[in-house]
A and B are shown apart, each in its own frame.
Chain A
Amino acid sequence: MIHNEEKLLQRIRSGDDEAFALLMEQYANQVYALVVRIIQQREDAEELTQDVFIKAYEQMESFSGRSSFATWLYRIAYNCAISHTRRHRVSHLSIDEGRIAAVRDEDIEQMEGDLSDHNIEALTAAIEQLNAEERALVTLFYYEQRPIAECAEIIRQSESNTKVRLHRIRKKLYLLITHSKDETEQ
């Protein structure tokens, strides 16, 4: 797979745009899924995915090969999607920092270990309420199952900062699901 990708990259380097089309076919749905999960709009997501590939094609010279092609492409997709949400000023739920800091690690562990349908459903709804950057990180780490180092490279943050962000997201999710539980109980 990687060997094949290297061959395709070499063909693109020599000006063969058909090779780029093959590479695009390989990654289009993954990039689209990431974009949809970040911007939460299917209508704009297709055009945005096109923009991602156009940018990748035009900036191919800047791809030095230090990271994998997928990581590089995901970084472009992440930047495009985040810029789109900033341009459209999508509102999201904000939670008091004090409340986030007060969440205990044991509560998070309990939330992550609870595989009941009710908890998973509540988490699915809570993820929707996160802001774009947080949803992107959840998608990359939990859905795509990319390692922390790769997630950090995609969002251009240090590994430790990415870990801190993920921890904060877990706390936020805990608050969101307990809030929804309280609402249903009332």
Chain B
Amino acid sequence: MKQSNNAIHRATLRRIQPQLPAGFCQRTMLRIRRRERVRELMQYAICGTILIALLAQSLQWAFARLSVRFDIDFALPRFDFSAVDFELVKSLTMIAVPLILMLLLDSYLRLKMQARFLFREEKK
């Protein structure tokens, strides 16, 4: 039986097609963007917390290491630093390394967020 000659089909047409109120799409897009922003902020908050924790840990580690003397068997490149400067450079390096690592992690996360809409390639 053709749908147009079907009483059930005609009965479904009896009801008025509901229409969405004006501005629905704008409101939905606003909600979508707000959710995206919240998610982004949460990711930054997590990364920031990890960064601060790592920095605190490395500073603690660096300061602890500064007071420790150790003998190294192999020859290290020697810079013409005074003893005070050498300790300063050493502690700055210890702070800079985790910082660079965190910046790299941040770049990686940004790229991942940009690529979140890339679809998985269809397996055909």
Which chain A residues have a beta carbon within 8 Å of chain B's beta carbons? Answer: 12-15, 17, 20-21, 24-25, 28-29, 32-33, 36-37, 42, 45-46, 49-50, 53-54, 57-58, 60-61, 63-66, 109, 111-115, 119-121, 123-124, 126-127, 138-139, 142-143, 145, 170, 173
On chain A, the residues within 8 Å of B9 by CB distance are: 142-143, 145
Instruction: Report the separation of the CA atoms of residues A109 and B7 in the bound assembly, to the nearest whole angstrom.
Output: 10
Q: Are A112 and B28 in contact (CB under 8 A)?
A: no
Q: Are B24 and A113 in contact (CB under 8 A)?
A: no
Closest to B114 in A: A15
**Given A25-B25, A33-B17, A65:B117 Cβ within 8 A:** no
Closest to A18 in B: B29
Q: Are A29 and B3 in contact (CB under 8 A)?
A: no
**Given A29-B20, A46-B21, A142:B6 Cβ within 8 A:** yes
Closest to B113 in A: A15
Checking A12, A29, A46, A143 against B117 with a beta-carbon cut-off of 8 angstroms, the contacting residue is A12
Interface CB pairs A-B, < 8 A, 26? A14-B118, A15-B117, A17-B33, A20-B32, A29-B19, A29-B20, A32-B18, A32-B20, A42-B18, A45-B18, A46-B21, A49-B20, A50-B28, A53-B28, A63-B119, A112-B6, A113-B1, A113-B6, A114-B7, A115-B7, A120-B10, A120-B14, A123-B7, A126-B11, A139-B12, A173-B8
Give B94-108 as 1s and 0s: 1 = Cβ < 8 Å from A's Cβ atoms: 000000000000000
**Given A25-B25, A112-B8, A138-B12, A60:B117 Cβ within 8 A:** yes
On chain B, the residues within 8 Å of A53 by CB distance are: 28, 32
Closest to A50 in B: B28
Q: Are A61 and B120 in contact (CB under 8 A)?
A: yes
Closest to A126 in B: B11
Query: Does B27 belong to the interface (CB within 8 Å)?
Result: yes
Checking B5, B32, B122 against A65 with a beta-carbon cut-off of 8 angstroms, the contacting residue is B122
Instruction: Report the separation of the CA atoms of residues A153 and B80 in the bound assembly, to the nearest whole angstrom.
Output: 74
Q: Are A112 and B31 in contact (CB under 8 A)?
A: no
